[in-house]
Amino acid sequence: MGKVIVAALVLGLSTTAYAQKKDCAELKTEIEAKIKKNGVDKFTLDIVDADKQADGKVVGTCDGGAKKIIYKKG
């Protein structure tokens, strides 16, 4: 039982690490598709350095956490 829990934990952590290393353009495309699927037509997604202040909501991180994707309505 303990081995199963450890295996699940390791798998979960490795999946999270993979998601953070995703290419920014690829992740931006995936996020755009999800937003459009929810019926939102007018919005912008911007890729900025992780340490920069930006107006809008952070909807993703990429390039190993070096960049973030910002969502703005309209």
Strand order in the sheet with 57-62: 43-49, 67-73, 57-62
pLDDT digits (tens, 9 = 90+) for 14-38: 444 454 578 999 999 999 999 999 9
| Residue 8 pLDDT greater than 90, yes or no | no
- Domain limits for position 50: 2-73
Q: Quickly tell me which residue has 């309209």 as its tokens.
A: 74
**What average pLDDT does the structure give for the chain?**
81
Neighbours of 43 (CB within 10 A): 14
Q: What is the pTM of this model?
A: 0.70
Count of structural domains within the chain: 1
| Residue 60 pLDDT greater than 60, yes or no | yes
